[in-house]
Amino acid sequence: MTHSVPAPAQGELDTSAPVELTLLVRRSRPLPAGLVEGPDTISQRELVIGYGASPEDLAHVCDTVREYGFEVADIDAAARRVAVSAPASQVARVFGGRAAHASVVDAFTEQPGTYRAWEGGTVLPPELEGVVVSVIGLDTRPRLRPEFRTFPGQQRLLYTPPELGALYRFPAGTDGSGQTLAIVVTGGGFRAEDMDAYFTGLGLPVPAIRTVSVGGAQNEPGGPGDLEVVLDVQVAGALAPGADLVVYFAPNSDQGAIDALRAAIHATPTPTAISLSWGAPEAHSSDQVLRAMDDLFAEAAALGVTVCAAIGNEGSSDGVYDGGSHVNFPASSPHVLACGGTTLVGSPDTGTIESETVWNTGADGATGGGVSRFFGLPEWQASVGVPARVGSDTPGRGVPDVAANADPATGYQILFNGQTGFIGGTSAATPLWAALVCRLAQGLGRPLGLLAPLLYEGPTGPDRVTEGFRDVVAGNNGAYASSPGWDPNTGLGAPDGTALLESLRRRLGSSPAGPA
């Protein structure tokens, strides 16, 4: 698979060319950690009133950038955004760095293109320090890659999503009814006729799939990115057939991804879960982007949204071949549920799992996982034995949190362009977990928000297995070997959905939901 990675600049851009930016303004007061980590949630209105940008800060930012010769195109108080534009030369004088051309192959389209690279560090003028949190849009290169994986050899086992739901004991009497599952994609599309045939063939109702266009991106099938979109929608729709599915299409850029995430998180109704089957190494994103996205994920958690993100298919290197270990973002954010991958051998007819190991088929792919170099170790993860960062004795956020089948040799059955196919990758495990979250929320009668703290504080058995999980104790993803309990390749393990629902019900004091 072709990867989108930063490319060297290839000459300066016309300095008079306009650059459109989004300035993210600080909150009037910080989101309390207790609110972000749940289980209590707030409404969209409460978020804006209690933790939005102050009118004084917004006015100050607008006045300041106008004095610097910028045009203010839009002010969104609810989103804490100020959209501005100025010639590249002026942007460089105010924020540092310089604009240059870069040729990059977009991993979703596999097409080359020329984009704006922004070289040099970004600095804020003194007047905006502490008021502007992030500057987004300087660099337009496509960084994100889809995390599906095909298998060039013979598949060992093949599963439909409902068969995996049976093996993972998704709770009976739930189907995701009353929940909204959002899928954010940065390329590709799907054909309605494929969806009709796929779900009908599984004996399931064809879901009403709503699409939302962000930044001009559309549901435009016909390219290699279609496999990701089809996989996400078919897995989510088959495992949570009662949920409302909403697919957000965005350009493959920092700005596009952030705008789509904001639209999904702040939609009405608020989604129960968001599935993100894409990512990039932390090292390929600027601090500005990492902070801006993580800030959005914290908002999602406060609103009761569980964001599920794929940990990648390149093993512990995450495709950065410098001899070190790296992790995928946005999965490395402490405000998302990071999803790793396994190789599952089981019998759907009997509901028996014979074995489940870390997915690692060498050059054909392996689950990501490791320790973040950007995000610190969350308090709720402090007792599970996360190793120190590579080359350091300081702790960091450990990923993944959870896992599920991802090996394309034990792949997921999909229908693509009228043909049955089989596919894997941690991008398959991610909508599986998003669907399970919807069914757990239905069974509990409440959203779950940032699910990780609840999972990590769950009871453990004598062998350190967390209640509601099947521990995965065989295999490695390169630098990290599996072990009893949490490890940096399959997290807490693979789900036992029924046991997990009962465990959460006891801890949250929820009553059983009626039949779906």
| 395-422 pLDDT, tens digit each | 999 999 999 999 999 999 999 999 999 9
Residue 349 known to be catalytic: no
**Residue 3 pLDDT class (50, 70, 90 cuts):** very low
Among the listed residues 134, 316, 427, 503, the single catalytic one is 427
Q: Is 484 in contact with 471 (CB distance < 8 Å)?
A: yes
Task: Indicate if the pLDDT at residue 457 is higher than 60.
Answer: yes
Mean pLDDT of 199-206: 96
CB atoms within 10 A of CB 43: 13
Q: Give per-residue pLDDT as tens, 441-453.
A: 999 999 999 999 9
Among the listed residues 228, 244, 259, 299, the single catalytic one is 228
Task: Indicate if the pLDDT at residue 184 is higher than 90.
Answer: yes
CATH 3.40.50.200 domain extents, the chain:
145-508
Residue 513 has a pLDDT of: 46
Task: Indicate if the pLDDT at residue 512 is higher than 60.
Answer: no
Residue 354 known to be catalytic: no
Task: Indicate if the pLDDT at residue 459 is higher than 80.
Answer: no
Spatial CB neighbours of 366, under 8 Å, sequence gap ≥ 6:
313, 314, 315, 316, 341, 358, 359, 360, 477, 478
Among the listed residues 57, 139, 175, 232, the single catalytic one is 232
Q: Give per-residue pLDDT as tens, 42-83.
A: 999 999 999 999 999 999 999 999 999 999 999 998 899 999
Mean pLDDT of 331-353: 96
Residue 120 has a pLDDT of: 83
Lowest mean pLDDT among 101-105, 233-237, 500-504: 101-105
DSSP 222-249: SSTTHHHHHHHHHHHHHHSTTSEEEEEE
Higher pLDDT, 11 or 145: 145
Helix axes 226-239, 426-444, angle to 10 degrees: 30
3-state helix, strand, coil in the chain (%, to 5): 30, 25, 45
Instruction: Compute, in degrees rounded to 10, the torsion defined by CA atoms 504, 384, 166, 278.
Output: 100
Separation in Å, CA 431 to CA 13, 167, 233, 310: 40, 16, 8, 9
Please give the Cα distance from 471 to 461 (Å, whole number): 11
Please give the Cα distance from 485 to 507 (Å, whole number): 20
Please give the Cα distance from 353 to 168 (Å, whole number): 9
The two structure tokens encoding residue 516: 């779906």
Mean pLDDT of 459-470: 81
Q: What global pTM score does this model have?
A: 0.94
Residue 1 has a pLDDT of: 42
**Residue 514 pLDDT class (50, 70, 90 cuts):** very low
Task: Indicate if the pLDDT at residue 138 is higher than 60.
Answer: yes
Q: Give per-residue pLDDT as tens, 143-154.
A: 999 999 998 777
- 145-508 sits in which CATH class? alpha beta
Residue 113 has a pLDDT of: 93
Go through 129-138 and write b for each residue having 16 or more CB atoms within 10 A of its CB, e for each that does not: eebbbbbbbb
Residue 516 has a pLDDT of: 36
Separation in Å, CA 14 to CA 11, 81, 116: 10, 27, 11
Residue 318 known to be catalytic: no
Task: Indicate if the pLDDT at residue 244 is higher than 50.
Answer: yes
The closest of 279, 318, 314 to 297, measured between CA atoms, is 279
Task: Indicate if the pLDDT at residue 511 is higher than 80.
Answer: no
**Residue 5 pLDDT class (50, 70, 90 cuts):** very low
Task: Indicate if the pLDDT at residue 515 is higher than 90.
Answer: no
